[in-house]
Structure 1
Amino acid sequence: MRNETRGTLELTLAMVLSGTLGVFVVESGARPFEVVFFRCLFGALALGLYALVRGYFAGHGFTARSLGLALLGGVFIVFNWVFLFEAYAAASISLATVVYHTQPFFLVLLGALFLRERIPAGKLGWLAVAFAGLVLVSGVRPGDTGSLAGLGYALAAAVLYALATFVTKRITGVRPHLIALVQVTAGVPLLLPLTDFGALSGLGAGWGWLAGLGIVHTGLMYVLMYAAYAKLPTPKIAVLAFTYPAVAMVVDWAVYGHHIGLVQALGVPLIVLAGLRVTLGRGAAPAPRTAARVPAAASRAATRAG
């Protein structure tokens, strides 16, 4: 099988898994803080075992600076998950996922704010298109506090993931699997004081869903993504990444009967199109093939994964 074909299959499978994330969160029956704590715990065990078997710890490449950046990115990622899962409960998986995909626009704004990168007029135009799509997709009314809260949580999650991506892009010479391992491991002590273990006593089958979030949606999914990133050009990664929200919307409808209205549906292609234009506008060079350079290329597309 050709490398690019295999990468396409790997990334498509990873994005399909991402699309089922919301069901695992909701079906676990746990609060977002507990869900994220155990996603980090089980995910760290899964990624740690994979890295150990593959021998990635030898010559890991971390310096004090890169380890600090990875930990900071971990803080952003952990609380991004908390806000995203809160959005699932306050609104719906479909709404939260689509709004969450405004991440690339916040990344552009962060570059302008902290790196003084100039935003071309064309990009500003696509940001305006994305904002129009966001207004349509939200479908919220001033008195609809639930949807407004869900929209706010999803936007907060998008900002936090953009911050995580912004920080992670500055790490070089370290395998992405190890960066992800550091980031999810950081979530364990970070969320330990905020986790109500007493509320988990009657969780029952919910433990299976929590384990799935860590093993499948963190361990397996990230391994598949990073394997694919090394085989695919950036434009293809950007396009395939939108499999995630598409699957999430279908799953939300099939499992919970949630669907977005006609006016909201009009906003989805605006966000998708603007997201593609902004993402590809940052450079359409092929994804680097070396492990040391993968994080920089992958981080742009990884903003799509839950």
Structure 2
Amino acid sequence: MNGQARGTAEMAAAMTLAGTIGWFVVVCGRPVLEVVFWRCLFGAGTLLAVCAAMGVLRNHLTRRVLLLSVLGGVAIVLNWLLLFGAYARTSISIATAVYNTQPFILVCLGALFLGERHTLDRFAWLALAFGGLLLIVQVGPGMGMPGHAYLIGVAMAFAAALCWAIAALVTKRLAGTPPHLIALIQVCVGVLMLAPFTDFSHPSAQLSTWGLLVVLGVVHTGLVYVLMYDAIHRLPTHLQGALSFLYPVVAIAVDVLAFGRRFEPGQMLGAGAILVAVAGMNGQGVWRRARKALSPARDA
């Protein structure tokens, strides 16, 4: 298997696994803060073993890497808390759709703080995603969900996307740092942040619950990070973006199949608009490459 084929398989596996996170969070039935704490703790153990095996702890852990990774870690942990909290107030599907506005938030932050320039078509996709978000908010919850809780859930999912974009912006400053090390520092930050607020006096008595928490840490954090970051080194950006589209598709499919979730017509339209916008922006690299490939033929 060549490098790109391996990267494609790794990214597809990582995004498919990530799409099932909502099921584990909902089924485990524990408070969100507790879920994120144990995810960070079990994930830290896995990533520590990976980083030690790769020998990156000694050569790359500088003060600058530590400080920036800690800052990104705070944003990542807040992102998980907000997104997992949004599941109960909206649904996995709606929260995931709103959460997938993250690439557009990153575009705006990059323009504001890094002076990045973006094309008009990117802002057109941004407008489409924003329109989808407004439609989701205006349609209302449906399925007997309280309206105020639904709106809070939508706001939490959007805030989670903002936190993710901030973490991504910080990580851009760490070019050349092994991503597994960054991820390790981030989950360690989560353990330290949440330990004072985690109730250790009433642990779950269900072995199945602990199994779900271990999977969230070892598989959805440790393994997914390893697969995703190795794939990033092997794949061009446009393929990374296209494959990342698997995450919301799998998450919505899990919500429909496992929990019988059904969209209201307006919600379906709004979620569809966001996903089409994400697909459109991720597909720009493919179209640019196709135009470049065709241009010599036109000039011949």
TM bucket normalised to smaller: 0.7 to 0.9
Say if 1:241 and 1:50 are closer, same or farther in 2 by CA, change over 3 A: same
Which residue of 1 is the match for residue 128 of structure 2? 129
**Structure 2 gaps, min length 5:** 290-300
Deviates further, 99-108 or 50-59 = 50-59
Matched, 1:4 2:4: yes
1:254 is aligned with what amino acid? L
1: CA distance, partners of 2:65 / 2:151: 37
Which residue of 2 is the match for residue 31 of structure 1? 31
Which residue of 2 is the match for residue 176 of structure 1? 179
- TM-score w.r.t. structure 1 length? 0.86
Which residue of 2 is the match for residue 55 of structure 1? 55
Which residue of 2 is the match for residue 83 of structure 1? 82
- TM-score w.r.t. structure 2 length? 0.88
1:129 is aligned with what amino acid? L
Matched, 1:228 2:227: no
Matched, 1:270 2:286: no
- Is contact 1:37-1:191 (8 Å) kept? yes
1:6 Cα deviation (Å)? Answer: 1.4
Q: CA RMSD in A?
A: 2.2
Say if 1:84 and 1:181 are closer, same or farther in 2 by CA, change over 3 A: same
Deviates further, 128-137 or 3-12 = 128-137
3-state secondary structure, aligned to 2:234: coil
1:220-266: CA deviation from partner (whole Å, max 9, x where unpaired): 11111111111111111101101011011111111111132333222
1:2 is aligned with what amino acid? N
1:147 Cα deviation (Å)? Answer: 1.4
1:79 Cα deviation (Å)? Answer: 0.8
1:216 Cα deviation (Å)? Answer: 0.5
1:28-68: CA deviation from partner (whole Å, max 9, x where unpaired): 11111101000000000011112222333242x23212210
1:192-227: CA deviation from partner (whole Å, max 9, x where unpaired): 112122342445421111111000000111111111
User: For the pair shown, which has the larger CA radius of gyration, 1 or 2?
Assistant: 2
3-state secondary structure, aligned to 2:134: helix
1: CA distance, partners of 2:202 / 2:161: 28
Say if 1:104 and 1:282 are closer, same or farther in 2 by CA, change over 3 A: farther
1: CA distance, partners of 2:201 / 2:18: 29
Structure with bigger helix share is 2
1:277 Cα deviation (Å)? Answer: 4.1
**Structure 1 gaps, min length 5:** 287-306
Matched, 1:144 2:147: yes
